[in-house]
Copies of this chain bind each other. A is one copy, B any other.
Amino acid sequence: MCGIIGISHHKEAGKMAFLGLYGLQHRGEEAAGIVTYDGKDTHVLKRTGLAVDNFDEESIAKLKGHAAIAHTRYSTTGGSNIKNIQPIFVTHRKKPIAVAHNGNLTNTEELYARLEAAGSIFQTSMDSEIMVHLLARTTNGELKEWFSRMLAQLKGAYSVVFLYEDYVIGARDPQGFRPLCLGKLDEGYILASESCAFDLMKAKFVREVEPGEIVIIKGNHIESTFLPKIQEEGRAFCVFENVYFARPDSHIFDDNVYQVRKRLGAQLAKEHPMQADFVMGIPDSGNYAALGYAQELNLPFEIGMIRNHYIGRTFIQPTQFLRDFRVRVKLNPIREVLEGKKVVVVEDSIVRGTTSRNRIQEIRAAGAKEIHMRISCPPIVSPCFYGIDFPSTKELIAHNKTVKEIADYIKVDSLGYLSREGMLEVMKNKNGFCTACFTGKYPTPIPVNTDKLQLEKGHTVTP
């Protein structure tokens, strides 16, 4: 996962892009970057770690210009390699091109082979770099044709923003895997992965960029062109954005995430009802479905665990000693609330199962008598090739165990997962979602060689 931002026209475009990163920080904690253009020069700022911690005012102030794009990066691949921080920025024929990309391409093997045979040199191990090489090898007549021709060669998931001199160009792949929202900011436009970024800077939500749409923005002027349409059944919105990844205050895929999650919780209550002393969520992400579950069954909702806001930076490189400690420091159960109680605990999803097992153990140690766990999505059984960084299948607990076995493993009195049908039932675009992680049925051909890091031959310690 990653978050991307584009700002077409603001006297402090760089600062605005930085503020936007606050709203997208949850989409990528590994690194972040901003590129601005001031009509003459391009300015770049990149940092590993959290943008909100590691970007300093002085450096931000140097990001002069009225147009900007930004990126926040999630993937742990490439580690602290500063070369792999986006936006990618190159100068081609003395004109600057920058790109920030969310998603993963699926035909990279073929594209790399073709480009390298023709003499291209790749500076990063990010598939996103392919786009600038394709641009450099395509006659650049009119902008919309140039970018359309380039994008038409890509397969897979991409929500992407480009900065080409004064132009900010946004695009979303025809299947629409990743969200991309369009807003109005002062005299120009703003693009962002999620609409919550708009609220921070008082930008106005306009609409989502459509699947297959390319928006070309210069200052206050906006124009759209479209890649060849595919049928609506071909759409593949990532349902996991709704289940877990996106922020609850965002509006994506035509719906508000908080409302979707409450409806998932209510549907979960219908499928797996349980009378209990109260319902609690695993904070914060489980709280929304827990509220829906509690309201559906008219059960009390309680905050059974306190989230500690001081989890500290020391955890960046945890030792064994601290790793054990980390679960407890994040969430502390309240004995006086839990003691002797029968509780429903709602979680958004289970990936490896180890965290859930730890949480349940803590809740039981604090005195809970019966624990009934409810999950607001189906079991996750397959990896994602479109940008969600799930572990390998052998680490996915539901790939290897039945629901009953999982319940035994995490030691709950009962366990209920939401069904795929129930999940889609409460969505606005019932037929337009990719649910491959729950089914193993992928909406695109997937590459034979799935090693995402095929190009990466080195390890850069810089700077």
Complex Cα gap A314–B51 (Å)? 10
Q: How far, in Å, is A67 (CB) from chain B's closest CB?
A: 13
Q: How far, in Å, is A431 (CB) from chain B's closest CB?
A: 23
Residues of A357-378 whose CB lies within 8 A of B: none
**List of B residues within 8 angstroms of A200 by Cβ:** 325, 328-329, 332
**List of B residues within 8 angstroms of A82 by Cβ:** 82, 462-463
Question: Are A25 and B91 CB-contacts (below 8 A) given A258-B334, A462-B82?
Answer: no
- A448 within 8 A of partner (CB): no
Cβ-defined contact, A462 with B256, below 8 A? no
Residues of A8-61 whose CB lies within 8 A of B: 15, 19, 22-23, 25-26, 33, 40-48, 50-53, 55-57, 59
- A123 within 8 A of partner (CB): yes
Q: How large is the interface on A (under 10, 10 to 19, 20 to 34, 35 or more residues)?
A: 35 or more
Query: Which of B43, B95, B459 is the one whose CB lies under 8 Å from A459?
Result: B43
Q: How far, in Å, is A366 (CB) from chain B's closest CB?
A: 8
Q: How far, in Å, is A317 (CB) from chain B's closest CB?
A: 8
Cβ-defined contact, B94 with A455, below 8 A? yes
**List of B residues within 8 angstroms of A307 by Cβ:** 284
Specify how many copies of this chain sit in the oligomer: 4
Residues of A70-116 whose CB lies within 8 A of B: 82, 85, 89-96, 116
- A178 within 8 A of partner (CB): no
Cβ-defined contact, A303 with B287, below 8 A? yes
Residues of A140-159 whose CB lies within 8 A of B: none
Q: How far, in Å, is A140 (CB) from chain B's closest CB?
A: 11
Nearest chain-B residue to A283 (Cβ)?
Answer: B284
- A249 within 8 A of partner (CB): yes
Complex Cα gap A55–B458 (Å)? 19
Complex Cα gap A310–B120 (Å)? 39
Query: Which of B48, B121, B314 is the one whose CB lies under 8 Å from A52?
Result: B314
**List of B residues within 8 angstroms of A303 by Cβ:** 248, 258, 287-288, 291
Cβ-defined contact, B462 with A248, below 8 A? no
**List of B residues within 8 angstroms of A184 by Cβ:** none
Complex Cα gap A460–B122 (Å)? 19
**List of B residues within 8 angstroms of A337 by Cβ:** 256, 258-259
**List of B residues within 8 angstroms of A325 by Cβ:** 19, 200-201
- A247 within 8 A of partner (CB): yes
Cβ-defined contact, B121 with A90, below 8 A? yes
Cβ-defined contact, B137 with A119, below 8 A? yes
Cβ-defined contact, B302 with A291, below 8 A? yes
**What 1/0 flags go to A316-336 for Cβ under 8 Å of B?**
000101100100110011111
Complex Cα gap A251–B336 (Å)? 9
- A222 within 8 A of partner (CB): no
Question: Are A310 and B26 CB-contacts (below 8 A) given A121-B132, A133-B121, A301-B291?
Answer: yes
Cβ-defined contact, A62 with B459, below 8 A? yes
Complex Cα gap A313–B306 (Å)? 23
Question: Are A458 and B89 CB-contacts (below 8 A) given A22-B308, A52-B313, A313-B53?
Answer: yes
Question: Are A460 and B43 CB-contacts (below 8 A) given A120-B119, A200-B332, A328-B200?
Answer: yes
- A393 within 8 A of partner (CB): no
Complex Cα gap A21–B312 (Å)? 11
Query: Which of B57, B249, B295, B336 is the one whose CB lies under 8 Å from A256?
Result: B336
**List of B residues within 8 angstroms of A332 by Cβ:** 23, 196, 199-200, 249
Given contacts A42-B459, A94-B455, A200-B329, 7 further A-B contacts (CB under 8 A): A41-B457, A46-B462, A91-B122, A93-B116, A196-B306, A258-B306, A463-B463
7 of the cross-chain contacts (CB-CB < 8 Å) are A26-B309, A44-B458, A53-B313, A120-B136, A256-B336, A291-B302, A295-B300
Of all A-B residue pairs in the complex, the 3 with the closest CB atoms, nearest first, are A52-B312, A42-B458, A256-B336
